[in-house]
Amino acid sequence: MPTQKEKESMAYSKKLLYYARVECWTITIAVFILAIFNKAVGDLTTICLAGWTAYGVARAFYYNMAKSDHQIQLLKEIDSTANEKVKEIIIDKVEEDLKDSIIEKLETKQE
């Protein structure tokens, strides 16, 4: 568990993941407690599963963002002209994504 000082200095995306994890565990514990006392937990289990799914998706997006941020930081440390390289990489990635998107749309229209 992060301390109060660590929470204050945490990036927004990390705070968001932290609070989502706490929320998921809270709902999960509530489901287990209600199940122990033989109470109806049908809707609560659905909410619990949806919460964990959303948490997993958020973590995946966070990891992708962190990976690209670290690549940019490494490029900047390696070369002082990295800003131009970063721009080239971003432009290439955007062009590649656009081409893939166009190809997918054309293939779905042909079917």
Q: Which residue has the higher pLDDT, 79 or 42?
A: 42
Residue 19 in this model has a pLDDT that exceeds 80:
yes
Over residues 12-21, mean pLDDT: 84
pLDDT at 62 (0 to 100): 86
* pLDDT single digits (tens) 55-78: 898 888 888 888 877 777 776 666
Helices (H), the chain: 4-9, 12-36, 42-78, 82-110
Tokens at 81, concatenated: 């002209």
| 56-87 b/e (C-beta count within 10 Å ≥ 16 → b) | eeeeeeeeeeeeeeeebeebeeeeeebeeebe
